[in-house]
């Protein structure tokens, strides 16, 4: 039987994030202002057509699948990468630290600036609509953050973890990692995450922090091909 995380975006858009999903039975996506992920029921021509019809202009959809992706002529690949999915081997203890605070929409601009600087993955001003984010500020400036992205029944993705280059080496990243993982575990969900397969440093760190490799995925960012 397929695991619910084999098609993480599709299953999130069908369940925990159905209220913000755009599309229908053949293809769904997150609003581009939140995150570029999209998914299809299958790779039939009808599903590909439904996905293409969700895109307009230069909008890009990021599709992640276990197997090969047969991109139809109507769509153009603008980026292709390989991802690994890692899953926690057990629950994490819930911790507290006075330096960590819950981030709010008032922090969105700073969060986007930090994400653009450190490149933890796709990030937008609307990222907080996917789940709670927490951060550490120094002298009133956001220097580290982490939160939740995709969610399915019983699972939540730890994402957006990053630290400003000027504040690295102070343990902020590991602290926020443990904090976010603990918050997810306290809710009764299993923690998982994604990393680029070439980022061996991050993968080794996540393994040391209690994660194991679950699967490798293909990512294709696509847009409608110009007529």
Contact 21, 13 (CB under 8 A): yes
- pLDDT less than 50: residues of the chain: none
pLDDT score at 118: 92
Q: How far apart are CA 136 and CA 126, in angstroms?
A: 19
Q: pTM of the prediction?
A: 0.93
- pLDDT of amino acid 82: 96
Q: What is the pLDDT of residue 121?
A: 79
Q: What would the pLDDT profile of 32-71 be if each residue is shown by its tens digit?
A: 999 999 999 999 999 999 999 999 999 999 999 999 999 9
Name, in order, each residue with C-beta under 8 angstroms of 42's C-beta and a sequence gap of 6 or more.
none
What is the reported pLDDT for 1? 61
Question: What gap in Å lies between CA 227 and CA 158, rounded to an integer?
Answer: 39
């Amino acid at each position: 039987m397929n695991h619910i995380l084999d098609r993480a975006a599709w299953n999130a858009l069908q369940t925990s994030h159905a209220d913000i999903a755009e599309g229908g039975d053949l293809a769904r996506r997150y609003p581009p202002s939140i995150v570029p992920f999209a998914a299809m029921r299958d790779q039939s021509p009808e599903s590909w057509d439904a996905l293409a019809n969700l895109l307009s202009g230069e909008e890009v959809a990021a599709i992640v699948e276990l197997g090969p992706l047969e991109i139809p002529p109507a769509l153009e690949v603008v980026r292709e990468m390989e991802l690994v999915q890692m899953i926690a081997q057990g629950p994490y203890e819930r911790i507290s630290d006075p330096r960590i605070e819950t981030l709010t929409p008032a922090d969105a601009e700073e969060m986007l600036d930090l994400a653009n600087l450190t490149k933890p993955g796709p990030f937008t001003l609307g990222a907080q609509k996917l789940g709670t984010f927490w951060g550490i500020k120094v002298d009133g400036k956001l220097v580290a953050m982490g939160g939740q992205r995709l969610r399915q029944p019983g699972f939540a993705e730890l994402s957006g973890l990053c630290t400003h280059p000027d504040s690295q080496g102070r343990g902020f990243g590991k602290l926020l990692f443990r904090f976010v993982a603990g918050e997810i575990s306290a809710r009764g969900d299993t923690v998982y995450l994604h990393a680029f397969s070439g980022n061996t440093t991050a993968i080794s760190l996540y393994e040391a922090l209690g994660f194991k490799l679950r699967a490798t995925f293909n990512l294709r960012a696509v847009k409608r091909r110009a007529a």
